[in-house]
Amino acid sequence: MPDRIADAGTEIWKRSPGTLRRRETAFSTALVAPALILVAGIYLYPAIFTLVLAFADFDMAALEIGRWVGLKNFLDLFANAAFVDAIWRTIYFGLLIAVGSTIAGFLIALLLNQRFYGRTLLRVVVVLPWAVPPVVAGVLWGQMFHADVGFVNALLYRLGLIQNYQIWFGDGQTALHIIAIAEIWKAIPFMVLFILAGLQGLPPQLHEAAAVDGATALQRFRYIVFPLMLPVLIPLMLIQFVWAMKAFDTIFVLTRGGPAGRTTTLNYFVYVEGFQSFDLGRASAAAYSLLMVTLAVILVSIVLRRLATSRRISE
């Protein structure tokens, strides 16, 4: 009965004259308007403002654009080895976290998809880092790798793996990888939840049929689970990549971009230029360079995906 009423409702709606429709459009626009105004004021206008600033020198004392400098900000940046290094470092850092969190997330999701004693508890524990604010994740991993009081040093020393307590953040490469560990640890819950949902969406018959046909667990993974999960894994990996490139909190807390700028990614570079050197023009140019790199990464991944699907179809 309610269904019939509803059907009748839609019928009336379809037949209703154009004025009603227009009135609805006006009403719905009014509902969306405040959100759009806020978004336009906080995104659109500033984003354009930043683009304009990228071609100018900003006068911090007068709080206005000093003079137009054309491409000078960009040319200066690309002539600066520290900036160019930061671009490559950002891509490497993003890739590290994307691949690391996908592999770790996939392995843990596969594990949680099995039956074992304490699975529910493990599930809760795996999701925990999600509740950790990025700043706290930074503090926590900073303390883990602390040169004097860190558990990592204590443990490795006790196990005889190191002769002396290591100053982990003294070396740029090591420090960058520790930041990546913190980011991956933080990203794992998100990845596990979504990959697990994907795994549970796989038709169980496939598994059973393959098992009956005598496929080993490894073969089932290689030829069934892995290919079927790729459409889930690739977008998740891309999301992590893009998010990692805008990481800030952990870098600020753990290294402040140091030592000697060796852990400065583009986003951190923008912060230093803009809010420590207060060169807003150059910071804006750097911010837009980061945007370009982000778009390039997304574009490359879309092209790769197209190629992969077309190859699969042609096979």
Partner 1 sequence: MTGRRAREQASVVLIHLAALVVFLLMAFPLYGLLLTSLQPEAIIRSRELSFIPSTLYFEHFREVLAEGHIVPLREGLINSATVSTLTAVLCLVIALPAAYALSRLHVPGARGILATLVSVYFLPTTIFLIPMFVILVRWGIDDTIFSLVIAYSGFVLPFVIWILKTFIDRLPREVEEAARIDGCSHWQVLTRIILPMARPGVLAAFIFAFILSWVEFLTPLIFTSNLKMTTVALGMFRSTIDIQVGQQAAAAVLTLLPVAILMLVFQRLITQILMAGADR
Of 147-186, binders to partner 1 (CB under 8 A) are: 148-149, 151, 154-155, 157-158, 185
Q: Tokens 């009748």 sit at which residue?
A: 8
Q: Tokens 């990546």 sit at which residue?
A: 180
Helix (H), strand (E) counts: the chain: 15, 2
Q: Considering only residues 266-285, where is the footprint of partner 1 by CB under 8 A? A: 266-267, 270-271, 274-275, 280, 283-284
Task: Report helix, strand or coil for 57.
Answer: strand
Instruction: State yes or no: residue 203 binds partner 1 (CB under 8 A).
Output: no
Phi/psi for 134 (5° steps) reads -50, -40
Instruction: State yes or no: residue 42 binds partner 1 (CB under 8 A).
Output: yes
User: Which of 99, 103, 127, 228 is in the footprint of partner 1 by CB under 8 A?
Assistant: 127
Q: How far apart are CA 94 and CA 73, in angstroms?
A: 25
User: Which of 97, 108, 180, 233 is in the footprint of partner 1 by CB under 8 A?
Assistant: 108
Instruction: State yes or no: residue 302 binds partner 1 (CB under 8 A).
Output: no
Instruction: State yes or no: residue 290 binds partner 1 (CB under 8 A).
Output: yes
User: Which of 15, 17, 18, 63 is in the footprint of partner 1 by CB under 8 A?
Assistant: 63
Q: Binding segment for partner 1 among 68-76, 80-88, 137-145, 219-227 (CB under 8 A)? A: 137-145
- Residue count (the chain): 315
| Nearest Cα residue to 252 out of 149, 151, 153, 133 | 133
Q: How far apart are CA 237 and CA 232, in angstroms?
A: 9
Instruction: State yes or no: residue 28 binds partner 1 (CB under 8 A).
Output: yes
Instruction: State yes or no: residue 225 binds partner 1 (CB under 8 A).
Output: no
